[in-house]
């Protein structure tokens, strides 16, 4: 099969032939129709998070089941599925507490990928979705209805669940609260959508790019504030009756955004930390002020998503016209043009670029 291989950090990927092992017990082979490009993929490709090379990245995918390992009975050949990086054992304390994204036993399994000469290839983010096929644990899948477009469905695997889930699952935000979303890329726009669905009375978008603030208004933000404005904090205060936001969602992996969030959060409010920074990035905060104001810092990985619970709900919101997904796609590229798609994503102006494979137009194999 063809895959986009990373052989050196911060260098173009090479589309080449790789060998994919058949699924083992508990695993499923999926022929991909689409895989969106997330900024987390860029961080790995740039070397910001380390890891072994060569590797195949990509983790926001959809496709059709084409082979089943022993013991897999929940899926059928030809079935459309969502493919995520959420690999879970189902029995540890975190899984039992409906937090599979932080499963205690879901470490990296042996990669099913190799070069034709037998050299091992790392399965990036437990998925390796920049390829025509993947072999993943069955826990990483969620069934998809036949009527949802596969490129749209792929977005549910990361960006949508991370943003909407940060609101519903991590923050458990109540109707009538005020929300501030710092960073209005793919995850930020979905946090805005989540806040709208949850009934926030005011949703303030903050970004450094005016054109992205305009887009945020289309997705449900009530107000936009330029993060670079000298009076940005005063603007947020004015929009929240002088209190600051009840919930501040940081969806961009920038230390300056986290440090700015501390002064924008209301007394008794929460900062939801969804944006992933580099390994060596640290923020400064005054613990006394956080304690004195009873503010909370809430980590949010993959929006605290439980696939079987949350994906059907999001699909129903989409069908009802309450969750925008089609509008999140900026461009579609074939696998051979993945470096163009990555370069366009790195510019920061896109929502989601999606790699589409033969199965996207052909349908189930």
143 and 275 part of one domain: no
> Percent of the chain, pLDDT > 70?
99
Asked whether residue 122 falls in the same domain as residue 180, the answer is: no
Q: How far apart are CA 299 and CA 164, in angstroms?
A: 14
Please count the other Cβ atoms lying within 10 Å of the Cβ belonging to residue 94: 17
> Is the pLDDT assigned to residue 58 strictly greater than 90?
yes
Residue 108 is predicted with a pLDDT of 64
Which residues are CB-contacts of 16 (< 8 A; sequence separation ≥ 6)? 2, 3, 5
Do both 10 and 27 map to the same domain?
yes
pTM: 0.95
* 270 and 200 in a common domain: yes
Confidence band (pLDDT; 50, 70, 90) for 258?
Answer: very high
Residues 87, 175 within the same domain: no
Q: What is the pLDDT of residues 117-171, one digit of tens each?
A: 999 999 999 999 999 999 999 999 999 999 999 999 999 999 999 999 999 999 9
Quick check: 143 and 75 in contact, CB under 8 A?
Answer: yes
> Left (φ > 0), alpha (ψ -120 to 50) or beta: where does 238 sit?
alpha
Structural domain boundaries, residue 211: 163-301
Count of domains observed in the chain:
2
| Helical packing angle, 39-46 and 338-346, nearest 10° | 100
132-136, 323-327, 347-351, 353-357: least confident range: 347-351
- Say whether both 151 and 167 belong to one domain: no
CATH at 357? 3.90.180.10
362 has pLDDT over 90: no
Is 135 a domain residue? Answer: yes
CA distance 221 to 233: 17
pLDDT band at residue 80, thresholds of 50, 70 and 90?
very high
């Amino acid at each position: 099969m063809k895959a986009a291989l990373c052989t050196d950090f911060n260098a173009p990927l090479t589309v080449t032939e790789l060998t994919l092992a058949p699924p083992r017990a508990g695993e499923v082979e999926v022929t991909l129709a689409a895989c969106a490009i997330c900024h987390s993929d860029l961080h790995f490709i740039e070397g910001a998070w380390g890891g072994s090379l060569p590797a195949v990245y990509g983790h926001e995918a959809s496709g059709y089941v084409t082979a089943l390992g022993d013991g897999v009975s929940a899926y059928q050949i030809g079935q459309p599925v969502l493919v995520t990086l959420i690999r879970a054992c189902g029995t540890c304390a975190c899984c039992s507490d409906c937090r599979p994204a932080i499963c205690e036993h879901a470490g990296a399994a042996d990669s099913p990928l190799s070069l034709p000469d037998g050299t091992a290839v790392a399965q990036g983010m437990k998925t390796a979705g920049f390829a025509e096929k993947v072999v993943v644990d069955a826990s990483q899948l969620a069934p998809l209805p036949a009527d949802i477009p596969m490129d749209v469905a792929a977005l549910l695997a990361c960006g949508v669940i991370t943003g909407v889930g940060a609101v519903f699952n991590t923050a458990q935000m109540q109707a009538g609260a005020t929300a501030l979303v710092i960073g209005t890329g793919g995850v930020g726009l979905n946090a805005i959508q989540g806040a709208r669905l949850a009934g926030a009375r005011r949703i303030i978008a903050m970004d450094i790019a005016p054109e992205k603030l305009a887009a945020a208004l289309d997705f449900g933000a009530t107000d936009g504030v330029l993060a670079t404005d000298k009076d940005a904090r005063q603007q947020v205060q004015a929009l929240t009756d002088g209190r600051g936001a009840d919930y501040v969602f940081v969806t961009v992996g920038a230390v300056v955004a986290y440090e700015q969030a501390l002064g924008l959060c209301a007394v008794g409010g929460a900062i939801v930390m969804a944006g992933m920074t580099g390994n060596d990035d640290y923020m400064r905060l005054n613990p006394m002020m956080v304690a004195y104001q009873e503010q909370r810092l809430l980590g949010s990985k993959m929006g605290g998503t439980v696939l079987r619970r949350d994906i059907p709900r999001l699909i129903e919101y989409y069908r009802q016209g309450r969750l925008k997904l089609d509008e999140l796609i900026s461009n579609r590229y074939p696998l051979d043009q993945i470096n163009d798609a990555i370069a366009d994503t790195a510019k920061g102006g896109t929502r989601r670029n999606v790699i589409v494979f033969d199965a996207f137009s052909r349908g189930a194999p």
